[in-house]
Amino acid sequence: MERPRSPKNYLYITIGSALGLGLSPFFPGTCGALLGVVFHSLIVSFLPASVQWTALMVVFILVCLVNHLLTLWAVAYWSSPDPKHFVLDEVAGYLFVQILFRQDGQFWKIAGLGFILFRIFDIFKLIPPTKYIDQNIHGAWGILLDDLVSAGYAALVMYIISWVYPQWSS
C-alpha cells in the first residue's frame, strides 16, 4: 500500500523513528535507543551535575509525551499495532535506566552497560510482566510500558553489579 507523502508524515517519521535511527533495516529498536544515549551524553557533557537528573527527567517526560501523541499516527502509518520503526519507546526506556540508576562513575561504562542490559531485557522479555504487557496491553501505554519495565530490570541489575563489585564503574 502506498503511504501518503506529506510534510506532516515526513516530520512524524523523523520524530517517531528517532531522527531516522529507527529506520535501520537491522535492529531498528537498538539503533533508535542510541538517541537516548545521545541525549544522555549531551546532558552529562554540558550541564552541571546538580541539574543532570532533572534534565534527564524533562527529556524522558517529553519523549514519553511525544510517544503518546504520535502512537495512533504510527500505528496507522505503518499498519502495525507496535511498529518496529516507531522507536520513541526505546529512547524513553534507555533514559529511564539512567534516571533509575543514579551512581557516580565513568559515564561510558554506565551508559554502555545500561544500554546493553536495557536492550537485552527489552528484546527478550523473559521476566514477567514484560511479555504479558507486550502481548496484552495495546496502544501508547502498551508500546511504552514494556520498555519501562525492561529499563527497571536493567537498572536493578546495575545496582546489583555495583553492590557486588563496587569498582566496576570507576
At residue 4, does pLDDT exceed 80? Answer: no
pTM of the model: 0.95
C-alpha cell recorded at residue 23: 529506520
pLDDT tens digits for range 89-98: 999 999 999 9
- Using one digit for the tens of pLDDT, what is the confidence trace for 45-98? 999 999 999 999 999 999 999 999 999 999 999 999 999 999 999 999 999 999
Helix (H, G, I), strand (E, B) or coil at 80: coil
- pLDDT of the residue at 66: 98
Q: What's the pLDDT score for residue 161?
A: 95
Cα angle, residue 26 at apex, residues 25 and 29 outer, rounded to 5°: 100
30: amino acid identity, one letter: T
Q: Any idea which of 3-7, 11-15, 50-54, 99-103 has the lowest mean pLDDT?
A: 3-7
Domain borders along the chain are 7-164
Nearest Cα to 155, choosing from 127, 109, 118, 106? 118
User: Is residue 29 a contact partner of residue 22, using CB atoms and an 8 Å limit?
Assistant: yes
pLDDT bracket for residue 160 (50, 70, 90): very high
Cα distance between residue 65 and residue 59, in whole Å: 10
Residue 5 has pLDDT above 90, yes or no: no
